[in-house]
């Protein structure tokens, strides 16, 4: 196997350090992350073919030394190279770790080239091929390394039956048997149909067969039929190991969903067709039933104060794309089960629409923190390598006589005020939100007229070279010269226009302005200054974009090299494949492509790995505390060094202070754009600036 595509696990609880490490190892394609020791062990249990573990010494739940000890105890992980990460001061620790079997060390802060060399050396160490021998397989150790309550089982497919090779004690507990009973039962071929609910059995079997044939791990929520006949919801994660023996061994982690022991759950069974006002997938009351039940509850309890909550899973479409609709469905079922168990008879609940759930309950019973906590661990329970986030809009029912649908609208208004906010996960409705909504509505009403009347204008913000102290380019930024509100910033209307797609018209309008400006300078014999324009993701995914742009430039006789395109990092999150295609096509057509707001999203490094780009614009907002945080400085250094290694130029955006500027000069950053040198300017003022300042030719 190619060294660069071997599995590497970074076990490190500090997110910036993980980012840094990934950056340093950017050309390794199979890097995984664990944020604490338990997660690391759980990953290694499923991936004994991991070629290298970068192991942080200090981590929550299980520290690096304990992980190391457990690895060395396991026949499959005993020889896996471990690079221990620690602070420079920990000399004693290093001796201890060496005794425990660490292969090498790296000290923080990391020295990129040194670390890369260490990793390369370690990957060259030949590793005994991972082989699993069911006889000596240390399942107990793996079991200890998973969280309490979950069980582990290894299955073997023989003669068309799935047989247990091993089932941990907690599996017996989950299924309601004693360990001895379960061990006896495990010998039978028919154990699976006995412990899995009949309606879920065939789907599980199908997934297991698929796993055996296609080696695709799966994750499924199903019902366990316990010995006493009660039903327990559980999530099964199954993965495959190539054994030293002939058979394929499937290693399943069964994670019971908290509070899901419920005899009635079979009636609200996920796969049952929705009838009598229930939702087909989750079995929760549908929206109409929720409206009806809630109306009744409010009318019958006039003295009581209520809250109505709408919860929305973020970017659920991405989850479906990444993991498939089956996992998506499982998440929805889990979510539904949690809403139901939280309300627990104290109010009403339902599925509002696709990935939105609603509930209404007395204010005195509603504890926001518990409600939010109930949602946060869904991704870890399902063992998704994806951070599932949920946003909540809460309407304290101040006017109990309005329609329930109106109450939901208010909760949704509150919800939309925090949507996309990664820190704030909830908002309470208040009247000012409604006013803001109305103001938004006004913007939407005015937009067409504004475009026709030429009320949108182009501002230009210069980009300076730090090497030459000259202007090297400019970015075209839109402003709305509104007849009543004056100059309106794009932050106030672009997000709305992205939603209603008007942004596609606006982008074309701005591109035309930029092309006309470049042509005008050329006509007047002035030094050309490359202009970059912003391309919204909606335009980006139009397959005719390269041709449309070439036609535009041809019309104005402008060279594509002067016309640069900024695409934002978040477009990658939505559709990586399409973004790769779109940027490749644009670069093939001769355009320079910039990645905008780098570092503001979640997939920055992944995107860099996948997509060749020309210029990296580093978002300074994520380094707000540069002055007080040495970590921020390290990240910035790391990012710039990554860009240099990838042959990309860098622009630091949003440079406001002399401190930032002085620091950037020491990092090797190429260019800066920011208020420190100049705000975005109307074209006339920009022209004046160009006349007064040197331009790099």
By the rule CB under 6 A, 569 interacts with ligand C2E: no
Alpha-carbon distance 538 to 478, whole Å? 17
Relative to beta strand 426-428, strand 390-396 is: parallel
Alpha-carbon distance 374 to 365, whole Å? 15
State the minimum distance, in angstroms, from the CB of residue 616 to Mg ion.
11
Residue selected from 478, 549, 558, 594 as contacting ligand C2E according to rule CB under 6 A:
478
Among ligand C2E, Mg ion, none, what does residue 507 contact (CB within 5–8 Å per kind)? Answer: ligand C2E
Alpha-carbon distance 328 to 342, whole Å? 21
Judged by beta carbon, residue 28 or residue 497, the one nearer ligand C2E is: 497
Relative to beta strand 306-313, strand 356-362 is: antiparallel
For 390-426, the three-class secondary structure string (H helix, E strand, C coil) is EEEEEEECCCCCCCHHHHHHHHHHHHHHHCCCCCCCE
Contact assessment for residue 499 and residue 558, using Cβ atoms and an 8 Å cutoff: no
SS3 637: helix
By the rule CB under 6 A, 212 interacts with ligand C2E: no
Of 409, 410, 477, 491, nearest to 443 (Cα)? 491
Alpha-carbon distance 622 to 600, whole Å? 6
Alpha-carbon distance 600 to 570, whole Å? 8
By the rule CB under 6 A, 510 interacts with ligand C2E: yes
Query: How crowded is residue 428: how many other Cβ atoms within 10 Å of its Cβ?
Result: 17
State the minimum distance, in angstroms, from the CB of residue 413 to ligand C2E.
23
Alpha-carbon distance 151 to 174, whole Å? 8
The stretch near ligand C2E (CB under 6 A) out of 208-216, 384-392, 546-554, 671-679 is: 671-679
Among Mg ion, ligand C2E, none, what does residue 350 contact (CB within 5–8 Å per kind)? Answer: none
Judged by beta carbon, residue 151 or residue 680, the one nearer ligand C2E is: 680
State the minimum distance, in angstroms, from the CB of residue 643 to ligand C2E.
17
Among Mg ion, ligand C2E, none, what does residue 337 contact (CB within 5–8 Å per kind)? Answer: none
Relative to beta strand 426-428, strand 356-362 is: unpaired
State the minimum distance, in angstroms, from the CB of residue 489 to ligand C2E.
4
Of 12, 22, 15, 4, nearest to 638 (Cα)? 22
Contact assessment for residue 653 and residue 670, using Cβ atoms and an 8 Å cutoff: no
State the minimum distance, in angstroms, from the CB of residue 598 to Mg ion.
8
The stretch near ligand C2E (CB under 6 A) out of 72-80, 226-234, 385-393, 674-682 is: 674-682
Among Mg ion, ligand C2E, none, what does residue 491 contact (CB within 5–8 Å per kind)? Answer: ligand C2E
Query: How crowded is residue 547: how many other Cβ atoms within 10 Å of its Cβ?
Result: 12
Residue selected from 597, 607, 623, 638 as contacting ligand C2E according to rule CB under 6 A:
597
Judged by beta carbon, residue 250 or residue 540, the one nearer ligand C2E is: 540
Residue selected from 50, 534, 604, 667 as contacting ligand C2E according to rule CB under 6 A:
534
> Which parts of this chain interact with Mg ion (CB under 5 A)?
534, 566, 596-597, 653
State the minimum distance, in angstroms, from the CB of residue 638 to Mg ion.
19
Judged by beta carbon, residue 256 or residue 680, the one nearer ligand C2E is: 680
State the minimum distance, in angstroms, from the CB of residue 148 to ligand C2E.
46
State the minimum distance, in angstroms, from the CB of residue 628 to ligand C2E.
18
Among ligand C2E, Mg ion, none, what does residue 573 contact (CB within 5–8 Å per kind)? Answer: none
State which of positions 480-509 bind ligand C2E (CB under 6 A). 489-491, 494, 503, 507
Judged by beta carbon, residue 507 or residue 653, the one nearer Mg ion is: 653
By the rule CB under 6 A, 595 interacts with ligand C2E: no
Residue selected from 221, 282, 536, 671 as contacting ligand C2E according to rule CB under 6 A:
536
Enumerate residues 6+ apart whose C-beta is below 8 A from 483: 455
Residue selected from 81, 176, 350, 680 as contacting ligand C2E according to rule CB under 6 A:
680
Enumerate residues 6+ apart whose C-beta is below 8 A from 400: 298, 302, 306
State the minimum distance, in angstroms, from the CB of residue 207 to Mg ion.
43
Instruction: Quote the tokens at residue 605.
Output: 């490094």
> CA 137 → CA 165, 230, 292, 338, 440, distances in Å?
10, 32, 56, 35, 62
**Residue 198: in which H helix or E strand, if any?**
helix 198-214
SS3 107: strand
Helices (H) and strands (E) in the chain, counts: 27, 25
State which of positions 453-472 bind ligand C2E (CB under 6 A). 461
Site size with ligand C2E, rule: CB under 6 A: 23
Enumerate residues 6+ apart whose C-beta is below 8 A from 564: 473, 530, 531, 532, 533, 591, 592, 593, 594, 615
State the minimum distance, in angstroms, from the CB of residue 534 to Mg ion.
5
Judged by beta carbon, residue 268 or residue 505, the one nearer ligand C2E is: 505
Query: How crowded is residue 562: how many other Cβ atoms within 10 Å of its Cβ?
Result: 20
The stretch near ligand C2E (CB under 6 A) out of 158-166, 378-386, 605-613, 648-656 is: 648-656
State the minimum distance, in angstroms, from the CB of residue 598 to ligand C2E.
10
Contact residues: ligand C2E, CB under 6 A: 461, 477-478, 489-491, 494, 503, 507, 510, 534, 536, 566, 596-597, 653-656, 673-675, 680
């Amino acid at each position: 196997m190619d060294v660069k595509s071997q599995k590497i696990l970074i076990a490190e609880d500090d997110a910036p350090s993980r980012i840094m490490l990934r950056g340093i190892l950017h050309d390794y394609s199979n890097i995984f992350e664990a944020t604490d020791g338990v997660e690391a062990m759980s990953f290694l249990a499923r991936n004994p073919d991991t070629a290298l573990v970068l192991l942080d010494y200090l981590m929550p739940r299980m520290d690096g030394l304990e992980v190391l000890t457990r690895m060395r105890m396991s026949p499959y992980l005993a020889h896996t190279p471990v690079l221990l990460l620690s602070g420079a001061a920990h000399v004693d620790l290093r001796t201890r770790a060496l005794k425990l079997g660490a292969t090498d060390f790296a000290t923080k802060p990391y020295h990129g080239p040194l670390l890369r060399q260490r990793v390369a050396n370690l990957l060259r160490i030949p590793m005994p091929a991972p082989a699993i021998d069911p006889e000596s397989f240390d399942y107990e150790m793996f079991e200890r390394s998973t969280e309490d309550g979950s069980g582990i089982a290894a299955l073997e497919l023989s003669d068309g039956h799935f047989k247990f090779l091993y089932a941990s004690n907690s599996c017996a507990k989950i299924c309601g048997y004693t360990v001895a009973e379960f061990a006896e039962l495990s010998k039978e071929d028919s154990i699976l149909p006995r412990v899995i609910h009949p309606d879920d059995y065939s789907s599980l079997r199908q997934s297991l067969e698929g796993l055996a044939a296609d080696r695709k791990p799966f994750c499924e929520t199903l019902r366990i039929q316990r010995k006493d006949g009660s039903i327990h919801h559980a999530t099964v994660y199954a993965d495959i190991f190539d054994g030293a023996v002939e058979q394929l061994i499937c290693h399943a982690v069964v994670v019971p969903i908290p509070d899901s022991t419920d005899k009635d759950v079979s009636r609200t069974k996920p796969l049952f067709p929705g009838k009598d006002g229930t939702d087909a997938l989750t079995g929760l009351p549908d929206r109409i039933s929720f409206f009806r039940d809630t109306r009744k509850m409010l009318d019958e309890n006039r003295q009581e104060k209520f809250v109505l909550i709408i919860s929305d899973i973020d970017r659920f479409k991405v989850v479906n794309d990444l993991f498939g609709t089956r996992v998506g469905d499982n998440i929805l079922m889990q979510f539904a089960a949690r809403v139901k168990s939280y309300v627990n008879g104290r109010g009403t609940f339902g599925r509002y629409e696709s990935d939105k759930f609603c509930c209404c309950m007395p204010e005195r019973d509603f504890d926001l923190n518990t409600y939010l906590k109930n949602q946060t661990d869904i991704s870890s329970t399902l063992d998704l390598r994806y951070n599932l986030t949920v946003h909540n809009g809460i309407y304290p029912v101040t006017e109990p006589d309005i329609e329930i649908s109106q109450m939901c609208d208010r909760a949704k208004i509150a919800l939309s005020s925090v949507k996309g906010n990664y820190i704030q996960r909830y908002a309470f409705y208040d009247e000012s939100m409604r006013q803001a909504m109305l103001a938004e509505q006004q913007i939407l009403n005015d937009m067409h007229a504004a475009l026709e009347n030429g009320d949108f204008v182009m501002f230009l913000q210069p980009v300076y070279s730090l090497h030459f102290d000259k202007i090297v380019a400019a970015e075209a930024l839109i402003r709305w010269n509104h007849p009543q509100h004056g100059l309106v910033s794009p932050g106030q209307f672009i997000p709305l226009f992205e939603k209603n797609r008007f942004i596609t018209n606006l982008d074309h309008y701005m591109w035309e302005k930029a092309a006309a400006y470049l042509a005008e300078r050329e006509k007047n014999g002035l030094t050309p200054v490359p202009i970059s324009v912003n391309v919204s993701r909606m335009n980006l995914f139009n397959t005719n974009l390269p041709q449309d742009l070439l036609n535009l430039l041809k019309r104005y006789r402008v060279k594509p090299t002067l016309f640069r395109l900024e695409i934002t990092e978040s477009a990658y999150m939505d559709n990586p494949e399409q973004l790769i295609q779109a940027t490749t096509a644009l670069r093939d057509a001769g355009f320079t492509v910039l990645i905008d707001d780098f570092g503001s999203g979640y997939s920055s490094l992944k995107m860099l790995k996948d997509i060749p780009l020309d210029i990296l614009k580093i978002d300074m907002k994520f380094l707000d505390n540069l002055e007080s945080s040495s970590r921020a400085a390290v990240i910035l250094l790391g990012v710039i060094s990554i860009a240099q290694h990838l042959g990309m130029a860098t622009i630091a955006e949003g440079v406001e202070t002399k401190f930032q500027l002085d620091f950037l000069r020491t990092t090797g950053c190429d260019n800066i754009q920011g208020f420190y040198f100049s705000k975005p300017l109307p074209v006339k003022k920009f022209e004046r600036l160009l006349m007064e300042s040197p331009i790099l030719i």
